[in-house]
Amino acid sequence: MAVIVDIRGVDVAFGERLVLKQVTLPVEQGASVGIIGPNGGGKTTLLRLIVDLQRPVRGTVTVAGMTPACAVKRGDIVGYLPQGWARTIDFPITVQQMIMLGLAGKTGLLRRYTREDRRFVDELIDIMGLRDLANRPVGMVSGGQWQRALIARALAPRPRILLLDEPTTGIDRTGQQEFIKFLLDLKERLNLTLMLVSHDLRAVTALCDRIACLNVTLHYHDNAERLTADEIYQRYACDLEAASLTSASAGQVGAPAGN
């Protein structure tokens, strides 16, 4: 399988402090890679490299065979959902209009959307289960519905890669299980390469076939299903939030959520 994201020997520094050190991570097309690690370990920085929001001081990053800047300029290579995208309750925009804004990177702000673009956004609204909410103001939807709308926005230009930074934050446990099932189905339907940052080991092992544990340096494990939270800590000194450790450390957590 071809490598679609290739990170090689990357160092990233904030001032004199290295936040990523000699990180190498090839991601094959169609793979699902979960990135876990402590706060401040560099997880968000790694995603930001891929969408050209951060530059390395050493090493190389290629996305679909091009530089991150070129991939972002194309508009249809990478979809990105950053952590904690704030919702303005009184902002006068509907769910459908917010999703359509995701096309701006592909078409430009001043160009009209094509009929095919509009058709695909309409299809996304159905896939996301947002049809009944399409004309509702964004301030009047639940946390889980908001996350689905944001993912639809990231997918509107039909990217090949989807980057998600803590996508289950703010969703309760029952909602998280439904959200995980939804993402698994979405990945298959749209043939996506998925990179997921999360503190929730249960979500990562349910969604991803590979785990990368990042704490400035990278520890990579191909088989997510046979790892427990205790093993991750003991092998890699890579801690998770207490809630995730409590739920996972009683046994293996590779089974899909809800089983």
Residues 6+ apart with CB under 8 A from 98: 138, 149, 153
pTM above 0.85, yes or no: no
- Asked if residue 36 lies in contact with residue 199, where contact means CB atoms within 8 angstroms, the answer is yes
Residues 167 and 114 in one domain: no
Residues 168 and 151 in one domain: no
Give the total number of structural domains in the chain.
2
What spatial distance separates the first Cα and last Cα of the chain, rounded to whole Å? 31
pLDDT at 130 > cutoff 80: yes
Residues 6+ apart with CB under 8 A from 26: 3, 5, 6, 7, 8
Task: Encode pLDDT of 179-230 as tens digits.
Answer: 888 888 889 988 999 999 987 777 888 889 888 889 999 987 766 556 666 6
Residues 193 and 69 in one domain: yes
Q: Can you tell me the distance from the alpha carbon of 22 to that of 7, in angstroms, rounded to the nearest whole number?
A: 10
Is 258 within a domain? no
C-beta neighbour count of 204 within 10 angstroms: 28
pLDDT at 78 > cutoff 70: yes
CATH number of the domain within which 173 lies: 3.40.50.300
Domain final residue, candidates 104, 132, 158: 158
C-beta neighbour count of 141 within 10 angstroms: 18
pLDDT at 93 > cutoff 70: yes
Domain with 128 in it: 85-158
DSSP state of 79: E
* SS3 state of residue 22: strand
pLDDT at 174 > cutoff 90: no
Residues 72 and 165 in one domain: yes
Q: Can you tell me the distance from the alpha carbon of 117 to that of 17, in angstroms, rounded to the nearest whole number?
A: 43
Confidence class for position 173, pLDDT limits 50, 70, 90: confident
Of 48-52, 73-77, 178-182, where does the model show the most confidence? 48-52
